[in-house]
Amino acid sequence: MTSPQNDPAPQPPQGHTHTHAHTHSHGPAAPVSRHLRKVIAAVLIPFATAVVVGLIAFWPGGVPDHERTGVGFDRQTQDGKVVQVVKVDCADVNAAQVPPTGDTSTPSGREAVNEQEGECAKATVEVTSGDDKGRRFVEVVQPDAPRQLKEGQGVVVAYAPDAPRDLQYSVIDVNRKIPMALLAGIFALAVVLVGRMRGVMALVALAVSFAVLTLFILPAILQGSNPLVVAVIGASAIMLAALYMCHGVTARTSVAVIGTLISLLLIGLLGSLFIDWASLSGNTDDNTGLIKGLYPDIDMSGLLLAGVIIGSLGVLDDVTVTQTSAVWELHQADPEMGWKGLYRAGIRIGRDHIASVVNTLVLAYAGAALPLLLLFSIAQSSVGTVANSELVAEEIVRTLVGSIGLVASVPVTTVLAALVVSADRAGPGGAQAATAAPARTGRGRRRKTG
């Protein structure tokens, strides 16, 4: 075998350098030609400018004030702590009476009997935040209550200023801040340990996403802005920040951004059409009813559509980035492959991705709606009846519209990536075009001399 030193001096080092770059450059994408950078910038700069203008134009400046109703999530709450728990006879602390007939066949009758029998917990709770810090009240917990209180346990208490003094405070939930914060810390540590700098940037992008959601999207909708417009602007801002922060300002990322944008537009159009056609109001439970009661001007069906768009964005980012990365890697493995070959190879990868992502999305929505589906099962309702109810129909439309957008994003992003990377190879001034031919010549020369 002839050693590399026997090759002619200038060409083989170039060939070897080119082979190394395309074999080990899985991270940052190879730079594209100046011409392609200008084309991509001509598309993305106006889009990014429009997003910034939209953020400024619709910036809400905070959540509008309203008088609290004391219902559901609209109650005033403070932190509390259980300082003492004493077991007492339920008959001594409950005012409920057993039905005179002794009938326990109804839920109310059984509940009345249970409240008169067994041992109840009489908990003394101290308020630990707010103006009434240090104030104590008594909470009676039934033996069959789903949430039992323990001494030293942190709780969330609701405050009703219009109620009699002894009834102004009540326990409504357990304080979960410490375990939730610990779990979030473990998550962040795992992301940074595995992802390193990419993981850090992913966490920063996650913080930006929450900031856009809580400081722009939600307050703007409450201020009366069109939910669809606000969701499109907010989702676009999240998309630009997340993709460029996590994957760098490259042509590869820019192609993923364009593919995501096209898919979001498709989801918005289909969602708007079918939400209107299916007469989905978006007002289907106590929480949405409370929102409508507090802010009558909110377009609830538009809010539903905004949720579809935002909910689809996270999975779309994953699909489009994966497809562009796959096409870029295929091109670096074989620089001579044309755009059609790149598309065919990339779409084969995409088909596997489609199958797993769509199944994931459907199962995620089904899992969230599992209690509701159980209720329909208990009622022995037919599949048609269940699907026709507005509660389930909303989830079906949300799932199918999002899934159509995901499916469409694969061929759209793949063909965009294939066209861009193959045009770059043949384009004027492309660095890859200049090095591809000598690299193959160098390898061929070594084979001949060996």
| pLDDT per residue as tens digits for the range 154-198 | 899 888 887 788 788 888 888 888 999 999 999 999 999 998 898
For 188-220, letters b (16+ CB in 10 Å) and e give eeebeeeeeebbebbbebbebbeebeebbbbbb
- Give me the pLDDT at residue 70, please: 59
| pLDDT per residue as tens digits for the range 291-329 | 877 777 788 888 888 888 888 887 888 889 889 988 988
- Give me the pLDDT at residue 115, please: 54
- Give me the pLDDT at residue 150, please: 87
Per DSSP, the residues of 187-207 read HHHHHHHHHHHHHHHHHHHHH
Residue keyed to tokens 């909708």:
221
- Give me the pLDDT at residue 192, please: 94
Using alpha carbons, list the distances in angstroms from residue 351 to 51, 312, 356, 403, 413: 32, 18, 9, 13, 13
Q: Is the pLDDT confidence value at 11 over 50?
A: no
- Give me the pLDDT at residue 443, please: 42
Q: Is the pLDDT confidence value at 431 over 80?
A: no
Residue 264 vs residue 361, higher pLDDT: 264
Under the banding of pLDDT at 50, 70 and 90, the label for residue 203 is very high
| pLDDT per residue as tens digits for the range 12-70 | 444 443 433 333 334 455 555 676 777 788 888 888 899 999 999 988 876 666 666 55
- Give me the pLDDT at residue 72, please: 59
Q: How far is residue 85's CA from residue 67's CA, in Å, rounded to a whole number?
A: 35
Single-letter residue type at 125: V
Average pLDDT in the 356-368 region?
Answer: 73
Counting Cα atoms < 13 Å in the Cβ hemisphere of 205 gives: 22
- Give me the pLDDT at residue 97, please: 45
| pLDDT per residue as tens digits for the range 386-399 | 777 777 788 888 88
- Give me the pLDDT at residue 164, please: 83
Residue 88 vs residue 16, higher pLDDT: 88
- Give me the pLDDT at residue 233, please: 92
Counting Cα atoms < 13 Å in the Cβ hemisphere of 147 gives: 12
Per DSSP, the residues of 79-102 read EEEEEEEEEEEHHHH------TT-
Ranges 1-10, 35-44, 133-142, 310-319: which has the least confidence: 1-10
